[in-house]
Amino acid sequence: MMENQKQIVLLAGTKETRIALSHQLQSILGDFFHIRSYSSEEMLPSLLENEIVILSSYLIKREVAHCLSDSCKVITARRTVNYEYMDQLLQLPEGTDVMYVNDFPQTVEQSVQTLIHLGIDHLNYLPYYPGIPQYQYADIAVTPGEMHLVPKEVKKIINIGVRLIDITTITEILSELDVLDDRATGISERFTEKIIQLSKKLALANQKALQLNEHLDKVLNGVNDGILSFDHTGKITVFNEELENIFSTASKQAVGKNIRQIIRDKELLHFLIATENEESDQFFTIHDTNVMVHRFTLPADNTMIATFKNTSTTISMEKAARHELKRKGYIGKYFFSDIIGNSEEIVRTKNIAKKLAATDLSLLIQGESGTGKELFASSIHNESGRRNGPFLAVNCSALSEDLLESELFGYEEGAFTGAKKGGKQGLFEQAEGGTIFLDEIGDISVKLQTRLLRVLQEKELRRVGGTRVLPIDVRVISATNKDLASDIKQGLFREDLYHRLNVLYLKIPALRERKGDIPLLLNHFFSMRSTKKMKVDNEVIGHLINRSWSGNVRELKNAIEYMLAVCDGERITVSDLPQEVMRIRSFKESLEREAMQEIAATTEELPLIAPNEEATLMECIYHNHITGKASSRKSLLKELESKGVTLSEAQIRLRLDLLERKGYIVKAKGRKGTRLTESGLVFVKSELV
């Protein structure tokens, strides 16, 4: 200590205040003055004379009066909050409730005023001091070092430290000591240093917030959808670039305005400001742009958010996505409109399939080979909610067990010799969000059945040789031409897997059960091959209709391809028929034993109708058709009898049912009676006339 160094005495109420203030004085004035400090809580000095005494607050005046003689110069400190801790308050969101805790009502009042003056006015200060008659509780308490006064229930305490002596008091001390001029600059610089530090912190935080805002802006403007948000008063807070395009309104004009000033469409406005909290979607046309608007609320801050999806852009994006899937071959090529046929059987099957498409459940399709199982699977996918996802078809009988396993479930690097570096995604992973079609499911090994069952049960899979569990979201449509129920009995197929696959069931009729569709299919396959109208001899159609088609539509398609290849390019005659079709030469010849056997072997699901009965019945109906008479069961009974065929009315009804299922006739009630269809006419013309 220098000789003659001037002295300052600090008197405080508590030890904590004494330490904080003497520390402050020391750091600002310590180089020039000697500072002694006392607190009434610890021990006060004996009578002070000729000293410059600083009181920490006017509240302690009485307590310390006995230590002060008249010769002392007493300065009561004005105190201000400690800037060093202010950033903790600045981090709290706007409008947060905080309890301000201090020892006396006056100090609470003063400090809150100071904070508000300092610009820390974004908080809702609720006063608290010991003995306050009534107070409002908040989870957060702010206190200048008076931690022990904070009510126990408070969850978080922000200690902003003991309030410090303000600059005006420091100036007063300096002038009292008569050193204002020479040292004031340096001293006030030290004082303001802390404030500068805080401003720096704030500037930095501000800069970060700005960066974050810019980043958010980029994100909001980078998306293809319009994004709008507004608060509970209707004030718009976000209006991104895409919305500028949709509404032809600049974001600058919209943000801060009330939504009612910007959105003129009453229906849209009504939809956006609807009070119910539920999310909802609605379609609107805004300035010729079709948009799907999705709205939801953020209950925490009572904000409404709406996204505007431009449907034409979305459709073209979906097209692009489909194009990409198509490039990979992961697309369902067929739609219900590609399934040709108007027989009762096929129409009913299509109607059921459309209903099944609306669900997301596993489906087992059963049908003979070539009946169009893949056609149905693809159409169901394309009509389902997964239509924009991939459609992958796998023929389970085409691959060896190991290959099928790694194709379906993928493998990790090093799973087996020859495994690709980095492993490989399986078809299940690639079908994510879409549908996988497992054809010939009855042919998979028991080991793969077990694996598949696990995937279906847990909706997650593990690649071959892997430990990672990957969640999957894939609809499984499987198909079989086998009788899986009998495979289960023989222990060849797991019953539990069968039930998983067979949640929904669809049976595709064989072609011979809907022969009426043959002429339509014929035209369809012709038009697929050439634009030229082909003439087809009736006799050819008769042959095609008479065949039992054990290979179903695929076999018919192949036969048609064959005929197109061998015909003269304009007309198809009997000589163009493939040999196997010619095996049944004509309907009458089909009574020959070999042909009879074939029909019997392939039509077991349809009750048999003796060919002579069928022919005679058709003849009678045809006769009535050309003479304009109605074919009632009674009239047919008589006509058949006259031709030597004796059948009861019930037997006739059964046979008419069968002819209808084949697509040859349509039964109608009343006077019209039974009528011939086009296929029926073709049948009659080629076989009977």
Ligand X SMILES: Nc1ncnc2c1ncn2[C@@H]1O[C@H](COP(=O)(O)OP(=O)(O)OP(=O)(O)O)[C@@H](O)[C@H]1O
Query: Which residues would be at the binding site for ligand X (CB under 6 A)?
Result: 339-341, 367, 369-375, 439, 481, 524, 553-554, 557
3-state helix, strand, coil in the chain (%, to 5): 50, 20, 35
d(Cα 28, Cα 593) in Å, to the nearest integer? 123
d(Cα 189, Cα 185) in Å, to the nearest integer? 6
Smaller CB separation from ligand X, 63 or 487: 487
537 within 8 A of 572, measured Cβ to Cβ: yes
Q: What minimum distance in Å lies between the beta carbon of 303 and ligand X? A: 52
Q: What minimum distance in Å lies between the beta carbon of 398 and ligand X? A: 10
User: Checking DSSP bridges between strand 124-128 and strand 97-101, what pairing results, if any?
Assistant: parallel
d(Cα 159, Cα 331) in Å, to the nearest integer? 64
If one counts every other C-beta atom within 10 angstroms of the C-beta of residue 393, the result is 21
Smaller CB separation from ligand X, 201 or 557: 557
Smaller CB separation from ligand X, 144 or 370: 370
Q: What minimum distance in Å lies between the beta carbon of 389 and ligand X? A: 20
Residue of 220, 239, 223 lying closest to 231 (CA atoms): 239
378 within 8 A of 326, measured Cβ to Cβ: no
Q: What minimum distance in Å lies between the beta carbon of 404 and ligand X? A: 16
Q: What minimum distance in Å lies between the beta carbon of 370 and ligand X? A: 5
242 within 8 A of 226, measured Cβ to Cβ: yes
Q: What minimum distance in Å lies between the beta carbon of 437 and ligand X? A: 9
466 CB-near residues (< 8 Å, 6+ apart): 410, 411, 412, 415, 423
Residue of 376, 393, 342 lying closest to 505 (CA atoms): 376
Smaller CB separation from ligand X, 185 or 527: 527
Smaller CB separation from ligand X, 146 or 368: 368
Smaller CB separation from ligand X, 350 or 585: 350
Q: What minimum distance in Å lies between the beta carbon of 340 and ligand X? A: 4
User: Checking DSSP bridges between strand 289-298 and strand 303-310, what pairing results, if any?
Assistant: antiparallel
d(Cα 34, Cα 6) in Å, to the nearest integer? 6
Smaller CB separation from ligand X, 165 or 375: 375
Q: What minimum distance in Å lies between the beta carbon of 333 and ligand X? A: 9
Q: What minimum distance in Å lies between the beta carbon of 269 and ligand X? A: 50
Smaller CB separation from ligand X, 55 or 339: 339
Smaller CB separation from ligand X, 170 or 479: 479
d(Cα 436, Cα 377) in Å, to the nearest integer? 9
Query: Nearest to ligand X by Cβ — which residue?
Result: 372
d(Cα 97, Cα 231) in Å, to the nearest integer? 20
d(Cα 227, Cα 224) in Å, to the nearest integer? 9
